[in-house]
Amino acid sequence: MQHSATIELAGSGDLVENVLGRDRAEQIRALAAPMVPVGAHAPVNGVDALRFAEALNLVLFADLIDRVPEGAAYVADCAREGRRIVLDHGALRTVALPQGTRCAMPQGVEAIRRVLEPLGYVEVGLYPLPRLKMTGHVWCHAQFPETMPQFFVSELHVDQFSPDFAKAAVRVFGSALDRFDAATGAVLARLGEGGSVPTDDAADALRTVMRLFDRQHAVPFEADYETLLAESAEAAWISTEGNAFNHVTDRVTDVEATAQGEREAGRSIKDKVETSASGRVRQTALRAAQVKRTFRAADGTLVAREVPGSFFEFITRRVDPATGKLDLAFDSGNATGIFKMTQAA
């Protein structure tokens, strides 16, 4: 799908530059396809919700490719070919602890809802993932659903696992701190009301929001990690990576051709392309980067081990003949297959 050209959005551009620095901001804006069509109203001064949302997506994209070498290599190949990445969606994982557990963080997807909805996102779908004991929640931008990336936020239901698992999960995730402060809340509230805020205030808020896309809890004990891993690769992943972007997704014309190109490039592309029940949504991905993470041993000393990190995904979407519009839906079967990319080697 081709995106229309965009005007230079001073608010968004300044905001990305404030967070990433000028050179990196210019590079990232050049790598990603436009999200906001020509003619979209922009505030004369400051940043509105639309520009904040665009900047958030760009900064999250930059963070992901910094952490996923094969994804960065793919993006660099696209840049050499003169093709920009069409950001279809980003994904992150959350944990819902058993009812009554004391924790500073809002539970599960609620920690992310408070960021997305003031920026113009609406929750449009629930995708049960019963084999994983998770549920996928999808947020789509109300104003520009096809060009602004969606968010696929999964929630792991701790109360569906064993008692030993639940105890380990509470020990690990119950220590999470809430980095969402009053100043950030005030900025997002103003944006959610349709107003704009000074760029410096928006940049401070964006830095705080970016900290929410990280690990919020303390370094886990290795024994707790092993307990989580025995029942859920996804819970184990969250214990080391937290709420970091699990993956970003490039919307491509032909996902099979893209997959073949990745094989020829020697990158670790998934063997199978996942196809939705409708046949209109097809997905595959590179395997997760392997990263070194720190754990606490039984005696409290720090130990390091290699674990799965984040990855890069590809998707092809077709037009839904019933609506005449691009099918922006997800598929529980596809998602379950893609989740396997972060299983331990």
This prediction has a pTM of 0.94
Residue range(s) defining the domain that contains residue 215: 10-342
CATH of the domain at 66: 3.10.180.50
Count Cα atoms within 13 angstroms, Cβ side, for 304.
4
Q: Is the dihedral of CA 32, 36, 39, 42 positive or negative?
A: negative
Q: Is residue 220 part of a domain?
A: yes
- Token pair listed for 324: 């005449």
pLDDT of amino acid 344: 67
Residue 37 has pLDDT above 90, yes or no: no
- Token pair listed for 157: 């239901």
In 3D space, the residue among 163, 93, 102, 166 whose CA is nearest the CA of residue 135 turns out to be: 93
Predicted confidence (pLDDT) per residue in 216-261, tens digit: 999 999 999 999 999 999 999 999 999 999 999 999 999 999 999 9
Q: Is residue 313 part of a domain?
A: yes
Predicted confidence (pLDDT) per residue in 160-208, tens digit: 999 999 999 999 999 999 999 999 999 999 999 999 999 999 999 999 9
Average confidence score pLDDT of the chain: 94
Q: Is residue 3 part of a domain?
A: no
Q: Is residue 2 part of a domain?
A: no
Predicted confidence band at 12 (pLDDT cuts at 50, 70, 90)? low
CB within 8 Å of 139: residues ≥ 6 apart: 113, 116, 117, 121, 122, 123, 124, 150, 151, 153
Angle (CA) 207-208-214 rounded to 5° is: 95
Neighbours of 197 (CB within 10 A): 24
Q: Is residue 1 part of a domain?
A: no
Radius of gyration of the chain (CA): 20
Residue 284, beta-bridge partner list: 314
For 309, phi then psi, to 5°, come to -105, -135
Q: Is residue 4 part of a domain?
A: no
pLDDT of amino acid 43: 76
Count of structural domains within the chain: 1
